[in-house]
Structure 1
Amino acid sequence: MKKILTLVFISMLGGIIALSAYTLFLEKEQIVKFEGEQEQPQFLNANYNAKTTNVLNTNAPDFTVAAENTINSVVHVKNTALVSRAASFEDLFYGRQSQQRTQVGTGSGVIISPDGYIITNNHVITGSNTISITLNDNRVFDAILIGTDEKTDIALLKIESEDDLPAIEFGDSDTAKVGEWVLAVGNPFNLTSTVTAGIISAKARDLSGKNSQSFIQTDAAINPGNSGGALVNSTGQLIGINTAISSQTGSYIGYSFAVPSNIAKKVIQDIIEYGDVQESILGVSGGALSSRAAQEFGVNATQGFFVKDVEDNTGAKKAGIKSGDIITKLDNIEISKFSDLSGYLKTKRPNDVVNVEILRDREIKSIPVTLSKSDIVSVDFIDMELRNLPQRFKKKTDITEGVVVQSNKNKYLYTKLGIRPGYIITGINDIPIKTIEDIQEFVAKYGSNAQDTIFKLEYMNTNLERKEVLFR
């Protein structure tokens, strides 16, 4: 027992001696070394001025002048329509007619002339029976609809005022740059004009996937009710008509889109002067270049528009543009995708001359091309040659939609239905056919089986009598 106690005592004594030695020598040295290397924090005095970069010293953009030049030109648009209520079971049982109710839609508009012309979106006033305009000073006017263009979603209204109205100044949307500051001005809730700010995020955006749009994209907040409002630059010049937002919720989540002012201006000038939009074409077909497209077309360039075919009797054909050419510029506008090309052409009229810069055999050439009317272009469909309706025919008959049969080699349609040159195709499978673009979209969707997918054809004969035929 004594031996055990002796061993325990010796062990405890050894541990105490070892711990004391570590504390006295080793730990003390480490503490001194650590404190010698540690940097003390430097506290700033209350009057310390931090150094800033040039970016932080740059003055923030001042939008007050642009807002002052714009808000009185933006108006509230109210569209009142009469819509039929869906018939109930009781209506059907008692033979009652469905009742009509009033439906109100709202949006924004922009005064573009002192005598009362106002531009807005077509979808803001579609189906309207009456249209009223509220100015920023709360005056209310009845408006008349002068004309619309569904493709660009532009409509022109007119109000009568004894006084000159505060019209906005048009800017040049072609010279607007990505990264440039812009203001979106609207009158969404009839609470006087509302202003939001952002930058141009992109140009020549096509949301449809049909190469039919050329929007200015911006991150200035635009919400429902702002449609038809103004997109202006830092000086208050109009560079776009706010039209759409990209959203899964129906509200703004980051990007919005505007019709460029150069397109909108040309559309309303055509409506005033001609009664409808004068469409012009270059006369080429093909596709925008990319790495994949360049490989498919067998070229080295990855930017520009590759010309695959040139339409006969068009300005491009007459000017000498050939298959295999790569269009890099129209006038001073860089062409990197189809919407660049189509967007610029929408600002031009038939017989306008544009300088087409092409890349041919590794050489840059500039060729002046006189633009052609869109109704001279045809498309082959189920052994028929179809063309857009000529403008003179539209004015003479008041028929504005459909495609005319130029020639018919389809024996069934010719012998069984009697569809001859001069007939007008107005619908396929309950799909309205307004122009040859609708035919091209139908063919693109169904390809070589397009004819087999047709079960209903709507058309008019030369006496303009509407007919339809069911194939199965």
Structure 2
Amino acid sequence: MAARLLPAVVNISTTQTVDAEHAPSVPNFPEGSPFRDFFDEFFDRHGGRPTPGPRQATSLGSGFIVDQSGYIVTNNHVIADADEVTVTLSDDTALKAEIVGRDTKTDIALLKVDSDTPLPAVGWGDSDASRVGDWVMAIGNPFGLGGSVTAGIISARARDIQAGPYDNFIQTDAAINRGNSGGPLFDMDGDVIGINTAIFSPSGGSIGIGFAVPANLAKQVIHDLKEYGRTRRGWLGVRIQSVTPEIAESLGLDSAHGALVASVTEGGPARDAGVIAGDVILSFNDRAIDEMRQLPRIVAETEVGSTVPVEVWRDGSKQTVEVKLGELEEAEESGLLASDPSQPGGPGGAAPESTGVQVLGLTIRSVTAELASEFDLPEDTTGVVITDVNADTDAARKGLRPGHVIVEVNQRPVSTPDEVRDALDAARDSGRSSVLVMVQRDGSMSFLALKLD
């Protein structure tokens, strides 16, 4: 298998011009300094002082051919900021490469070389079918040595190493070192199931913890880069957070799963479909959402413009809405993702309480112009503002502070302390041990489950 696959794996070298201001310089010591004498003697012995000006920096990595016409996959960080990219084939043929496109979110790049003859290529496998314990083989260019083969097993799947918004890495103990970046991870059928991207290593060398971008995530990225020169990801238009056991209990869910919608973007696909803050997304396009972090990846992989069913938990029951997906990149360019989340409304006009009302260790008051000025709240703030927090309470441990605003209780808008108190009483009467509150803090919305005792 190694003999068959090695010809499709390439070495990638890049050159980058470093400006003089970023290039290392020689210290300028005063006349008569022993350090000046030392450096003068050193440079005289090695051909003189270096001349100021731009310099060439080089780097090495790996890649693999996915199309006989010359398309090559590698990591974005291998070719980032490169002025020139050279691909060296297994027979030592060196070809200049063009950067077709790159994606920083998944650290994937697509290159193109021109060749007079068809190049050896490898095919994609199904990374979702791989199991922990399956044997795998990695081929790459560690430390610039050229095609090296290592083998191991899949140690874990769906690893989140905080490298990007779509982390879903395959972890392997096949030796991966510097220079292996961008190389393929093969299953025992000789199909690519991952792109070797990162290692965990205190020393810089392999200690048996390597990470590969799964093929099923990479394939769509590569298709978009080849077709459009950029990615085209699906966009739902929600900000989400995890469903904790307390939040699940407060909402009447039988277990902690799904993705809780903290806010909905004005003008986004979710808003148009009727998704509201407080909904828990249980499935998207008939794919179950067990953990919150699954949703962004599944949405991103879904075709832009397609209409898909989204199952949500709302008011104690399941509901399904149809959402027509937008494009994430267009939303970023238009500034929709940077806009303030919409504020849930509520009835107003009640007279403010002079001293406030105590609930759950919190002192709360209706929003007034004086309180809005004191806590620097937006003019259109609705809800009840927290003016004091008992330190020895669940609310304090959950991070609530004076100036935070309670906007909803159990998915119902509130604008007076009495409405908050009524909602808490209703939750107690229904046998709940915790209550779900939507809080506006630091310019954004989030949900918290607070204990009722």
TM range (shorter): 0.5 to 0.7
What is the CA-CA distance between 1:129 and the residue it aligns to? 2.1
| Residue in structure 1 matched with residue 363 of structure 2 by the alignment | none
Q: What is the match of residue 73 of structure 1? A: 8
- CA 1:202–1:194 in structure 2 vs 1: closer, same or farther (change >3 Å)? same
SS in 2 for 1:241: strand
Task: Tell me how far apart the structure 2 counterparts of residues 174 and 313 of structure 1 sit (CA, whole Å).
Answer: 34
User: What TM-score does the superposition give when structure 1 sets the normalisation length?
Assistant: 0.60
**Amino acid paired to 2:142:** P
Give the AA of the match of 1:389: E
Which residue pairs with 1:99 in the alignment?
A: 53
Aligned Cα root-mean-square deviation (Å): 3.5
SS in 2 for 1:287: strand
1:177 aligned to 2:119?
Answer: no
Question: Which of the numbers 98, 106, 109 marks the counterpart of 1:144?
Answer: 98
Give the alignment partner of residue 155 of structure 1, picking from 96, 109, 112: 109
Measure how far apart 1:209 and its partner are. 7.4
Number of the residue aligned with 1:467: none
Quick check: 1:278 aligned with 2:232?
yes
What does the per-residue CA deviation read over 1:290-328, in whole Å, with 9 as the maximum and x for residues that have no partner? 435536767442122223333333333334444443333
Tell me, in whole angstroms, the C-alpha distance in 1 between the residues paired with 2:333 and 2:162: 24
2:333 to 373, 380, 389: 389
Alignment of 1:51-450 (within 5 A): 65=1, 67-83=2-18, 84=20, 85-90=23-28, 98-208=52-162, 211-291=165-245, 294=248, 299-331=253-285, 333-360=287-314, 367-374=321-328, 388-390=332-334, 448=442
Q: Deviations over 1:195-224 (max 9, x none)?
A: 223333333332227745332222322111
Unaligned runs of 5+ in 1: 1-64, 378-387, 392-401, 408-446, 451-472
Moved over 6 A (4+): 402-407
State the match for 1:39 in structure 2: none
In the alignment, what sits opposite 2:384? none
User: Does structure 1 conserve the Cα–Cα contact (< 8 Å) formed by 2:142 and 2:176?
Assistant: no
User: What is the CA–CA distance in structure 2 between the aligned matches of 1:112 and 1:405, rounded to whole Å?
Assistant: 40
CA distance in 2, matches of 1:92, 1:338: 62
| 1:96-117 alpha-carbon deviations (Å, 9 max, x no partner) | 9833332221010010100101
Number of residue pairs matched by the alignment: 324
In structure 2, what is the Cα distance between the partners aligned to 1:360 and 1:251?
A: 50
User: Would you tell me which structure has more helix in proportion to its own residues?
Assistant: 1
| Greater radius of gyration (CA) | 1
Q: Name the CA distance, whole Å, in 2 between partners of 1:342 and 1:404.
A: 17
CA distance in 2, matches of 1:91, 1:102: 26
Q: Which structure 2 residue ranges, 5 or more long, are not aligned?
A: 32-49, 342-440, 445-453
Between 1 and 2, higher relative CO (CA 8 Å, sep ≥ 6) is seen in: 2
**Distance in 1 between residues matched to 2:314 and 2:337, nearest whole Å:** 35
Q: Secondary structure at the match of 1:70?
A: helix
How far apart, CA to CA, are the structure 2 residues paired with 1:355 and 1:224? 43
- Quick one: percent identity of the two aligned structures? 39
Question: Normalization by structure 2: what TM-score?
Answer: 0.62
Provide the rounded CA distance (Å) in 1 between the counterparts of 2:175 and 2:230. Answer: 32
Task: Give the match's secondary structure for 2:105.
Answer: coil
* Distance in 1 separating the partners of 2:338 and 2:245: 38
After superposition, the C-alpha distances for 1:405-464 in whole angstroms (9 at most, x for unaligned) are 899xxxxxxxxxxxxxxxxxxxxxxxxxxxxxxxxxxxxxxx7399xxxxxxxxxxxxxx
